Structure 1
Amino acid sequence: MTISQVKQTAKESLRGNWGIAIGIFVLAWLIETVGGGLIGWIPVIGWIAIFLLTGPLYTGVAWVYLAISRREQPDVAYMFSGFKQFGRTVLAYLLISIFTFLWSLLLIVPGIIKTYSYSQTFFILRDNPNISALDAITESRHMMNGHKGRLFGLSLTFLLWYLIPLAVAIAGTVIVAGGMATTSYTADPAEVLSALAAGATFGGLVLILASWLITLGISLYVYPYLITSIAVFYDDLYAATEGTFTEETVIVEEEVNPFGTTEADPFAEDTHPEGFGPEATKEPETPVVPEAPEAPETPETPEVPETPEAPETPEAPETPEAPKDNNEPK
């Protein structure tokens, strides 16, 4: 699917579901904001608590948009389903954060590239409930080989929306800085120049506030649209490699080791973990039954020579007529 087709499919999936899509985004944002305000001020413990909250929370949010992209009807409670698999979702969130941070230490670009490499992890966790967090990350890397540019192009079409509030925020910041600089160099606060500087500073602050409100308004539309489009991209990517999710996923209650199941380096390019992902859900191929050997042809029966025709029997000679009797009266 092209980028425009992915976006069109996502928009059709959101038709009739915009209410829950926007509501899920707002509710998740409020939980994170309020929770961070209540416990974020506690050193170390508060930060850990926020991390343990946001990991499963935003995993569940991604699962809601995945369900919407598949024309399902998820309810609000579904956004908390990530907490039912707390160990896997938190560990996946932690590992992705660590790996992305380590790659970003080299340069910003490698960190961005790895962000796209790990982008399918939480969708894979949803469709493969019996694999570990590390294996899901590895599977995401394999799925995104050769497709990171496409996903970057898709996300870029949404990020361009934020150029509007960014321009407003930059303008407001420049005005505030100019006003404050003018005020600091003005000797008499009662002068007209000082009053103009104060007005400019206030106007700049209004622009900054307006940029924040514009960002929030754009996000109400862009964020659900973006995540739903990425979910459509994920299903299309899966369909292009192994098939598509056309059957309901059967969740088997089985304890999973969240620290991985592979002994070899799971991030080696030639290593593909076993027991998960497209290979795990692929239907077994029907064995080909060898054809039975053809029976040898029966040799043709030699033709029986024709029996020669019997010679014709010579016709018997005609019997001569008897002589006439002279005594026959005349």
Structure 2
Amino acid sequence: MEIAPMNTYKSSAKLKGISKEQLFGHYNTVIGALLLVGIITLFIVYIPSMFITARNIPELIIYYLISFIVSLFTGLLTSGEAFLYLKLICGQPISAGDIFYGFKACPDKAILLQFVFSLLTYICMAPSAVFYYLYLTTYQAVYMLLMSLFSVIGAIIIIIASLMLSQVFYLLHDFPQYSAKELLKMSRQIMKGHKGRLFYIHLSFLPLYLLGLLSFCIAFLWLIPYTNTVLANFYMDLMKNRNQQHQETKSE
């Protein structure tokens, strides 16, 4: 992963400090939004299991196809969450209802962006899912080994691609006139040299989430909004430095 050049980009600790200040007095709102997203997402995830039991290959294919189609609608909620946290870090009033903003602001693009993420995930994890099914039907150890191997390979690809495209939903709200293809391209561009930074930020939260497990995940109600605020500030930091660099280039 790339290492960002020397510049004025904020450190992980700085981003976290800013985020804590911005969240002060807003936890009730962001926790309410988190619960709404969680309940809706849980319902969406369980829709396929209501219709398909996946007892054989054809049913397994239909199950994943339904799961894929249903997952596209989570892009609307992801878009709404990005909007909420952008408002928060910009000092604007927020409400839990902001998570539904994605349903009225470029919903087609949000679904297309989610399509890319979902397709990437399913393609990367499809081989391991097939080998897992073969293992369950034959109990041959070789299939379990292949499943593990392809799971690791798929996970690595997903992580790298997710880091590369991580800014698309923020960009959607800052550049609503852009097409989904342009947003994906712009995310790749602004993340050049910064995927390592973002990966480190995610890793830095790992100890907190492990501790959160001791609270039976109750602490996640505070940790997840905290993480989301830091990620929104990471985006804002990227864009401020990008704009500054463009201005300096023009003045030369």
Do both share a fold (TM > 0.5)?
yes
Distance 1:165 1:95, change over 3 A: same
The answer as to whether partners of 1:101 and 1:111 remain within 8 angstroms in 2 is no
The answer as to whether partners of 1:100 and 1:115 remain within 8 angstroms in 2 is no
Distance 1:141 1:102, change over 3 A: farther
Residue of structure 2 equivalent to 1:229: 230
**Which residue type is aligned with residue 31 of structure 2?**
I
Larger RCO (alpha carbons 8 Å, 6+ apart): 2
The answer as to whether partners of 1:39 and 1:49 remain within 8 angstroms in 2 is no
Distance 1:110 1:34, change over 3 A: closer
Q: Give the counterpart of 2:101 among 76, 81, 99.
A: 81
Residue 134 of structure 1, CA deviation: 1.8
Residue of structure 1 equivalent to 2:195: 148
Structure-to-structure mapping, 1:258-273, within 5 angstroms: none
**Which residue type is aligned with residue 32 of structure 1?**
T
Distance 1:164 1:77, change over 3 A: closer
User: For 2:94, what is the secondary structure of its paired residue?
Assistant: coil
Residue of structure 2 equivalent to 1:242: 243
Residue 102 of structure 1, CA deviation: 4.5
The answer as to whether partners of 2:72 and 2:115 remain within 8 angstroms in 1 is no
Rounded Cα–Cα distance in structure 1 between residues aligned with 2:70 and 2:176: 24
**Which residue type is aligned with residue 117 of structure 2?**
I
Structure-to-structure mapping, 1:80-159, within 5 angstroms: 80-84=100-104, 85-102=106-123, 106-159=153-206
Rounded Cα–Cα distance in structure 1 between residues aligned with 2:165 and 2:73: 20
- Of structures 1 and 2, the larger Rg is shown by 1
Rounded Cα–Cα distance in structure 2 between residues aligned with 1:58 and 1:17: 19
Larger proportion of helix: 2
Residue 162 of structure 1, CA deviation: 2.6
**Which residue type is aligned with residue 153 of structure 1?**
Y
User: For 1:41, what is the secondary structure of its paired residue?
Assistant: helix
The answer as to whether partners of 2:83 and 2:173 remain within 8 angstroms in 1 is yes
Structure-to-structure mapping, 1:157-196, within 5 angstroms: 157-164=204-211
Residue of structure 2 equivalent to 1:275: none
Distance 1:38 1:123, change over 3 A: same
User: For 1:155, what is the secondary structure of its paired residue?
Assistant: helix
User: For 1:214, what is the secondary structure of its paired residue?
Assistant: coil
Rounded Cα–Cα distance in structure 1 between residues aligned with 2:66 and 2:124: 26
Residue 107 of structure 1, CA deviation: 4.6
Distance 1:57 1:107, change over 3 A: closer
The answer as to whether partners of 1:117 and 1:144 remain within 8 angstroms in 2 is yes
Post-superposition CA distance 1:158-210 (Å, at most 9, x none): 122232466xxxxxxxxxxxxxxxxxxxxxxxxxxxxxxxxxxxxxxxxxxxx
The answer as to whether partners of 1:161 and 1:218 remain within 8 angstroms in 2 is no
**Which residue type is aligned with residue 33 of structure 1?**
L
Check if 1:50 corresponds to 2:70.
yes
**Which residue type is aligned with residue 51 of structure 1?**
S
TM-score of the aligned structures, taking structure 1 as reference length: 0.55
Sequence identity, in percent? 29
User: For 1:72, what is the secondary structure of its paired residue?
Assistant: coil
Post-superposition CA distance 1:107-132 (Å, at most 9, x none): 53232111111110100011111111
Distance 1:144 1:50, change over 3 A: same
**Which residue type is aligned with residue 216 of structure 2?**
I
Post-superposition CA distance 1:80-118 (Å, at most 9, x none): 111112210011011122235546765532321111111
User: For 2:51, what is the secondary structure of its paired residue?
Assistant: coil
Distance 1:51 1:110, change over 3 A: closer
The answer as to whether partners of 1:57 and 1:80 remain within 8 angstroms in 2 is yes
Structure-to-structure mapping, 1:57-76, within 5 angstroms: 57-76=77-96
Rounded Cα–Cα distance in structure 2 between residues aligned with 1:35 and 1:133: 23
TM-score of the aligned structures, taking structure 2 as reference length: 0.71
Distance 1:34 1:79, change over 3 A: same
Contiguous gaps of at least 5 residues in structure 2? 1-9, 53-61, 126-149
Residue 138 of structure 1, CA deviation: 1.2
Residue of structure 2 equivalent to 1:194: none
The alignment of Structure 1 onto Structure 2 pairs a total of residues equal to 203
Rounded Cα–Cα distance in structure 2 between residues aligned with 1:153 and 1:144: 14
**Which residue type is aligned with residue 83 of structure 2?**
W
